[in-house]
Amino acid sequence: MNLVVEFCQRVERRESVLGIVGLGYVGLPLALEFIESGFKVVGFDVDVAKVTALSEGRSYIHRIEAAEIVQARARGFRATAEIAELRECDAILICVPTPLKGNHEPDMSYVQATLDALAPHLRADQLVVLESTTWPGTTAEVVVPTIERLGSVKVLREGVEDRGVMVAFSPEREDPGNTTTPRREIPKVMGGFDTRATDAAAALYNAVFTRVVKMSSPAAAEMTKLLENIYRSVNIALVNELKQLCLTMGLDVWEIIDAAATKPFGFQAFYPGPGIGGHCIPVDPFYLTWRAEQFGKKTRFIELAGEVNEAMPAFVVETTREALAKRGVDLKTAKVLVLGVAYKRDLDDLRESPALTVIQLLEQAGAEVAYNDPFFAEVGHGRKYDLERLSTPLARVGEFDAVVLTTDHSAYDYPALVEASRLFVDTRGATRRLNSEKIVRC
């Protein structure tokens, strides 16, 4: 029987076993979607604590209830730290981090380590899909060669092998905090290394997602993901720059954006803040900048947007310094409370959060800094931060010389917080309808 036909029939009958590598903010929700659609799923993660939590029916992601994990386990989901167990899976989806190095170059260590460990256990007729955001060419230049170098089977190429591993790329399209659009309603872009991989991956994703968009190649799918995130990065940089100009001119940038958004065509609203966070927007544009340099091209527009966004935490700190000075307080001796350390409202996600940079810069300026966040009772050590402190109760707001709002969680009572504070620095427009001499907007 034809390889793809056999694969598609197993998918249709829900006989396929799915393996997901990386059980974080992308991998775990994806696993639950496939389980909900009738598939058995094996989840792999090198973090034994995550595997243990899932095996005990516990969740470590705020928006996923423990009951969902318990239900998934009852339907056949299991987590493991033994990657060899993925040999029994029909399809394996790789959802591991792709961060940046300190010099803005891609850090492919997580992807490479995954491939190195996985390749020896692959067998013919499996489908391997990389979902991690990366530079155009990764699938062809990293994934395929690693599988063939370390594995015992070939990767299917157009018109060459009859049996082998099918390889494709399909970027994750997570929108954390979005409670209105079901994940399965977000179209799934994907491109196979050959047409058989494309057809197999399309059949798999069609079983869960309402629409699958087939691309001509993995590189085209890889570039699509970067375009999506660069579009956001550039537009956020634009409104961040306009915010600074509007402040100088005495204008309310949020009022202006809201008014522009009433235009029914040609405009999409983006909003300013203390910087950009999350795994995608601060990272992905630099993947393309790095790749473009290998082709002798400069991405000046993308790089400028990155510079504007990365400068925003320093703008917040300088605004706080100036506001304190007007009140006779030196930032070097000030006590500052940062409200919200998550990168986005109502999320338990610290990845690339601009609040962490604000804290770092405030401390470098000599301030004594504390934080409050309803989603983080404590913050320890991470890839780009080392806080090691507990969340400060809001009852202590009045003890601080300045309160800096960096994440506008809906749980915050802004009128009460402004009333209790000595100085309230608002980077999110949360207090735009409040009138108080204590408020400084930036």
- Cα gap 232→101, rounded to integer Å: 21
Q: Which two tokens stand for residue 420?
A: 């209790």
Question: Would you call 235 exposed, middle or buried from its count of C-beta atoms within 10 A (0-12, 13-18, 19+)?
Answer: middle
**In sequence order, what are the residues at sequence separation of 6 or more whose Cβ sits closer than 8 angstroms to the Cβ of residue 373?**
339, 340, 341, 342, 379, 391, 407, 409
Calculate the CA 214 to chain-centre distance: 23
**In sequence order, what are the residues at sequence separation of 6 or more whose Cβ sits closer than 8 angstroms to the Cβ of residue 230?**
284, 285, 288, 302, 305
A 10 A CB-CB count for 340 gives 29
A 10 A CB-CB count for 174 gives 18
Residue type at 111?
V
- Cα gap 284→23, rounded to integer Å: 21
Can you give the length of the chain in residues?
442
- The residues carrying an active-site annotation are 280
Q: Are strands 188-192 and 166-169 parallel, antiparallel or unpaired?
A: antiparallel
CA distances from 303 to 107, 270, 285, 290 (A): 18, 19, 8, 10
CA distances from 71 to 32, 85, 98, 325 (A): 10, 22, 30, 56
